[in-house]
């Protein structure tokens, strides 16, 4: 146990330590120990975990695992009545006592080490943009013979808001809305204050496009592992604080028909002692050879990346033409219809970066960030070239022009097929393992089967009278 944690426990009269970890899908789990039990021995030997009871981890016959506290990742628990310290943990195999291949934090650590080995004196920085909805209530019913959901949101002017097909441009009417239309300014500020209190840097917050309670909290640049931890923890903080205020925070990519979907864009760049390793100052988009290779790698492997970036059946209800979510693998300067945007306001040697726009928050942040890095590094290693940046709005190109630009997958099955065909770049340096990829694909195909077997309410509209 490091001295900082020891001092915090004594100064704050901490009674419990909450050891937190995520499963393969990114959902949080925890086990709580009294501080009298949390000492040097526990920090070294860890706490036993039944891996067979955690989604995607172990079979019953080999379920025993160990959770080792990462004492560099502590923060005060913001939601418990008794004074509690949270500490993130790393999972290891009980026999080998080394990292567990399906532990997402271990994958992120390996990705950072692979970058250090591949490109000397370089590291990566990541800025996530969290989009989500706040609803007054959400009721879901999935019993046999009873299926549906009901969303109640008062922000749009009435409870039981009925989304409708918007007129041209009307679906943008919530963007940067001010009070009284923006009901959630205060709770967003409270969320941001709490995020900063647990060590997550916040850049800003605002109302997003969706008028029925869509919000955005943009975090600030962080190293890879910290960024991945922060996204997962930010979702946890936002959901808990919403619940305390009798609200429901929903990170689904497309919770409502005909309303704006929610993404999780990632600004990213490699850095060295001089600043952004993506900056050249000349040529297309001011990108260096390193930056061009990185962009080309993201585009080359974009379809396979979708299996991690857009890993839910709901993801592909967002990735449709007409909204801001991209559907084609192109890069541009300031053009939000492309999968990769180079922000027009960030083109200096200090901060030139790229924004990868397809991901959403049903992803596991540790896995999707690691996968994006691996795709970019593969593009650099192979000397790939992304060509000229796109200068036109993809939504206004004709079919023949669009056919020349690779498209993102149209559904989850297509994304998983792409990952099965294109995954060697993820295995470089042992960052991802075939075991992890197989487990991920199996879990996601099972989700597809479960979805396919259930009648959809809209099917009754279409077929019940035929």
Q: What residues are labeled active site?
A: 50, 129, 131, 208, 216, 265, 336, 355, 357
The Cα–Cα gap between 308 and 372 comes to: 9
The Cα–Cα gap between 318 and 133 comes to: 14
Strand boundaries in 96-240, DSSP class E: 123-135, 137-143, 146-152, 202-207, 214-219, 222-223
CB of 155 closer than 8 Å to CB of 210: no
For residue 432, what is the DSSP state?
Answer: S
Centre a 10 Å sphere on the Cβ of residue 165 and count the other Cβ atoms it contains. Answer: 8
The Cα–Cα gap between 237 and 293 comes to: 36
Give exposure, 132-156, as e/b (b: 16+ Cβ within 10 Å).
Answer: bbbbbebeeeeeeeeeeeebebebb
Among 31, 69, 75, 71, which Cα is nearest to 50's? 31
Q: Report cis status (omega within 30 of 0) of the bond before 179.
A: no
258, with CB counted inside 10 A (0-12, 13-18, 19+), is middle
Quick one: tokens of 206?
A: 């605002």
The Cα–Cα gap between 207 and 215 comes to: 4
The Cα–Cα gap between 443 and 464 comes to: 32
CB of 56 closer than 8 Å to CB of 70: no
């Amino acid at each position: 146990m490091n001295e900082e944690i020891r001092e915090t426990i004594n100064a704050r009269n901490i009674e419990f330590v909450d050891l937190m970890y995520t499963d393969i899908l990114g959902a949080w789990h925890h086990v709580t120990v009294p501080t009298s039990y949390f000492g040097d021995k526990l920090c070294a030997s860890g706490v036993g975990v039944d891996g067979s009871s955690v989604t995607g981890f172990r079979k019953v016959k080999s379920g025993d695992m160990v959770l080792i506290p990462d004492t560099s990742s502590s923060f005060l628990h913001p939601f418990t009545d008794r004074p509690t310290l949270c500490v993130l943990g790393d999972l290891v195999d009980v026999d080998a006592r080394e990292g567990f291949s399906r532990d997402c934090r271990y994958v992120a650590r390996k990705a950072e080490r692979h970058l250090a080995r591949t490109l000397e004196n370089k590291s990566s920085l990541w800025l996530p943009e969290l989009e989500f909805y706040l609803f007054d209530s959400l009721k879901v019913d999935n019993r046999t013979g009873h299926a549906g959901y009901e969303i109640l949101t008062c922000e749009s002017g009435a409870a039981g808001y009925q989304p409708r097909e918007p007129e041209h441009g009307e679906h943008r009417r919530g963007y940067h809305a001010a009070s009284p239309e923006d009901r959630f300014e205060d709770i967003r500020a409270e969320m941001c204050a709490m995020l900063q209190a647990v060590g997550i840097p916040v850049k800003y917050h605002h109302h997003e496009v969706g008028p029925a309670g869509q919000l955005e909290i943009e975090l600030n640049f962080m190293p890879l592992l910290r960024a991945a931890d922060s996204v997962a923890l930010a979702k946890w903080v936002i959901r808990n604080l919403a619940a305390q205020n009798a609200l429901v925070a929903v990170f689904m990519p497309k919770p409502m028909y005909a309303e704006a979907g929610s993404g999780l864009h990632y600004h990213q760049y490699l850095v060295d002692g001089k600043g952004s390793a993506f900056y050249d100052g000349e040529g297309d988009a001011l990108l260096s050879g390193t930056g061009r290779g990185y962009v080309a790698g993201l585009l080359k492997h974009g379809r396979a990346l979708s299996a991690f970036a857009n890993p839910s059946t709901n993801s592909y209800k967002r990735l449709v033409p007409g909204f801001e979510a991209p559907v084609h693998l192109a890069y541009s300067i300031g053009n939000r219809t492309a999968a990769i945007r180079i922000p027009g306001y960030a083109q200096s040697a200090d901060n030139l970066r790229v924004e990868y726009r397809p991901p959403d928050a049903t992803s596991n942040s540790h896995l999707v960030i690691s996968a994006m890095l691996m795709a970019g590094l593969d593009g650099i290693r192979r000397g790939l070239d992304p060509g000229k940046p796109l200068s036109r709005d993809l939504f206004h190109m004709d079919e023949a022009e669009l056919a020349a630009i690779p498209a993102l997958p149209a559904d989850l099955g297509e994304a998983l097929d792409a990952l099965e065909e294109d995954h060697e770049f993820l295995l470089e340096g042992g960052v991802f393992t075939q075991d992890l990829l197989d487990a991920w694909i199996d879990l996601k195909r099972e989700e597809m089967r479960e979805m396919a077997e259930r009648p959809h309410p809209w099917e009754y509209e279409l077929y019940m009278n035929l």
